[in-house]
Amino acid sequence: MDFGVYLAGVALGLSLAAPPGPINALMAAQAISKSRLNGFLTGLGAMTADAAFLVLTYFLSGLLALNEFARGSLSLVSFILMLFLAYLTWRSSRQIDLTPKKSVHIPYLTGLTVGLTNPFQLSWWMSAGLSLISSIGIVIIFGFFTGILVWITTFPSLLAWVGNKRPWVYRAVIYFSVGLLIVFALWFFYNAMALLRSF
């Protein structure tokens, strides 16, 4: 296993799991109003949705004979998607709200349902995920899931410590995530230009 590729996958998973969104909002609601375990179970449900999308993407990558032009086009779409998410994440840093929200009764199923119906999650797998599997292989995806697992394990505990009195901690996480997203966006752009130029 290429450890460098694996670590890149971990960083990618963290950069995509950390920005504010429906899953993190649900995790925050569960962690603050119920327990850290409920927050973790919500994130685990969303990660299960990612696993389902991974299986779909993996089989698609095997069925589709992607040439360099197709892989370059996917990388270009991934570049745009990453930049868009970085912008949304940066904009959300001005509107951090860590006050408790209404919790749900079955956190795992709620996280799974939101994950399966989240259009961004599906579009990421159909663009960036497919591009990564076809260009690099499955190793980076293992790292990706490790990064998500690290996030859904530590985020509920982070919220318990942050509470409503230390919003700067979560803001720092957001800025770090924006930086990672921009780095990966530039990597996708470089990969797209290399593939399209050779076509």
Task: Specify the long-range contacts of residues 68-72, CB closer than 8 Å, at least 24 apart.
Answer: 68/195, 68/196, 68/198, 68/199, 69/195, 69/196, 69/199, 71/131, 71/134, 71/135, 71/195, 72/191, 72/192, 72/193, 72/194, 72/195, 72/196, 72/199
The answer, yes or no, to whether residue 97 has pLDDT greater than 90, is no
What pLDDT, in 10s, does the model give residues 147-190?
999 999 988 887 767 655 556 666 777 777 788 888 888 988 98
The answer, yes or no, to whether residue 145 has pLDDT greater than 80, is yes
What pLDDT, in 10s, does the model give residues 16-28?
787 767 787 778 7
Task: Encode 66-135 in three state secondary structure.
Answer: CCHHHHHHHHHHHHHHHHHHHHHHHHHHHHCCCCCCCCCCCHHHHHHHHHHHCHHHHHHHHHHHHHHHHH
Lowest mean pLDDT among 73-77, 103-107, 150-154: 103-107
Cα separation, 60 vs 134, whole angstroms: 10
Domain regions of the chain by residue span? 3-197
